[in-house]
Amino acid sequence: MSVWNLKYKDESWDFRTADTKEYTHCFHTYPAMMIPQIARELLNQYGVEGEWLLDPYCGTGTSLVEASLFGMHSVGCDINPLVRLIATTKTTHISLNTLDSEINRINETFFELEFGTAKITDTPIPDIPNLDYWFSDEVKKHLACLLTLINKVEDKAVRNFIIVAFSETVREVSYTRTSTFKLHRIPAEKLENFQPDVFGIFRKKINRNKQGLITYLEKRKDVEASICDVNTVAGELPMPKPIGGYNLVITSPPYGDSQTTVAYGQFSRLSAEWLELPNARKIDKLAMGGSPNKEILKNSPISSAVEKIQSIDEKRAHEVNAFYIDLGQSIDSVANILSRRSTICYVVGNRRVKDVILPTDEFVAYSFGKHGFTHKETIVRNIPNKRMPKKNSPSNIVGQTSSTMNEENIVICQRTD
């Protein structure tokens, strides 16, 4: 039976009215996040308490949080150090007493600074290229002061928790437009009146995240959750590896190469630079499809689509092809560490390039099929919650636009003895 005969639309998977910011899911915005309700429903259908879940492109850890609430051990991988930090924090047991003590200490300093009993002293500001382009002098001083206070926190888990709030604050108080994930400066006429309250915004993030943490800790099961710096495209294997392999994969890989689709690296860059994390400006190039590849995939579900794109724009065809080569190599790595009776759930978008739709869902089923997996079904859902552009320009001609992804596909494959 073909992939298409097992593909159907189910609007119950839209979760239009669901609260997508429950528990620690509220911690930090990030591009094109998989909503927790999808992972939750997939865990209810295919998860087994005490077994192991893998998310090879974990982002900020949505599936890992849900696995720990469900009662499965989990391992997540991502090449972006900022999201690994966020995912780690979202799944870590944190002492609320220690957290309260550190938050009170920071708030006392805020009070002294805001009411004039203390002054912001010269604190070291990271040596970041074009820092003045993205931040006002006052914001830079406040962020540097805040970072100095955070770095004095001795408890690592608590410090990470506070850093996550700092990271989100950095982007919000910068000159970056909030309407896009790419780095675009707000218009010049708005700069003069842009005077964000750094400490106030940070306080709101901390208070919101603390409430999410409390509800998470109340329901979190006694399971392991690990996040590792592993690139499955390069054949690197997640650790720890459970005996017999992972039983379930719930993940949402990138829609395409980050330089032409969702700019994950650009979104995280300013925060990563303030925190002096590695590869802050290289994430999009290190991601799937980020490096040129002249190899052409033949006899695969995306081959005919790439040929159509090539007839219009050869360069774009090679970029698209490079992404699917990397995705296929990653799937090869993932398949080799799964148990003999395992289920994979890939939430993917069939993006449109040069007005040609790329059947990513079919490619995923095909790639796992080479490793003994049977395609069970593909559920099509509307995307009401992801921030994605409604239109793009397939021809790069002014005025010519085309719709992008309004749906995504939940591809489910299983391997049995």
Which residue, 335, 365, 386, is CA-closest to 36? Answer: 386
Give residue limits of the domains in the chain: 4-91+224-415, 96-217
313-344 pLDDT, tens digit each: 999 999 999 999 999 999 999 999 999 999 99
pLDDT, tens digit, for every residue of 388-409? 444 444 444 444 444 557 999 9
Higher pLDDT, 261 or 279: 279
Residue 10 pLDDT > 80, yes or no?
yes
Neighbours of 168 (CB within 10 A): 22
Identity (one letter) of the amino acid at 207? N
204: which residues sit within 8 A by CB, 6+ positions away? none
pLDDT at 209: 98
Q: What is the pLDDT of residue 391?
A: 47
- The sign of the torsion formed by the CA atoms of 289, 8, 332, 82 equals positive
Contact 324, 297 (CB under 8 A): yes
Decide if pLDDT at 179 tops 90: no
Cβ–Cβ < 8 Å for 357, 374:
no
Give the span between the Cα atoms of 77 and 323, in whole angstroms: 18
Topology of domain 4-91+224-415 in CATH is Rossmann fold (3.40.50)
pTM of the model: 0.94
Q: Give CA–CA dist 378/308, Å, rounded.
A: 25
377 conformational bin, left if phi > 0, alpha if psi -120 to 50, beta if neither? beta
> CA-to-CA distance for 256 and 54, rounded, in angstroms?
21
Q: Which long-range contacts (CB under 8 A, 24 or more apart) does 189-194 make?
A: 194/136
What confidence score (pLDDT) does residue 1 get?
Answer: 41
Mapped onto helix, strand or coil, the DSSP state of residue 346 is strand
* 3-state SS, residue 374: strand
Output phi, psi for 38, to 5 deg: -65, -50
d(CA 91, CA 226): 8
Q: How many CA atoms lie within 13 A of 111 on its CB side?
A: 6
* Closest by Cα among 288, 251, 286 to 272: 286
353 backbone dihedrals φ, ψ, rounded to 5°? -125, 125
Q: What's the rounded Cα separation, in Å, for the pair 222 and 92?
A: 11
Q: What are phi and psi of 325, to 5 degrees?
A: -60, -45
At 218, is the pLDDT very low, low, confident or very high (cuts 50, 70, 90)? very high
4 pLDDT band, cuts 50/70/90, is low
Q: Output the pLDDT for position 117.
A: 60
| Rounded Cα distance, 114 and 77, in Å | 41
Q: Is the pLDDT of residue 92 over 70?
A: yes
- 92 vs 37, 95, 208, 400, CA distance in Å? 20, 10, 17, 47
271-289 pLDDT, tens digit each: 999 999 999 999 999 999 9
C-alpha triplet 144, 145, 148: angle, nearest 5°: 85
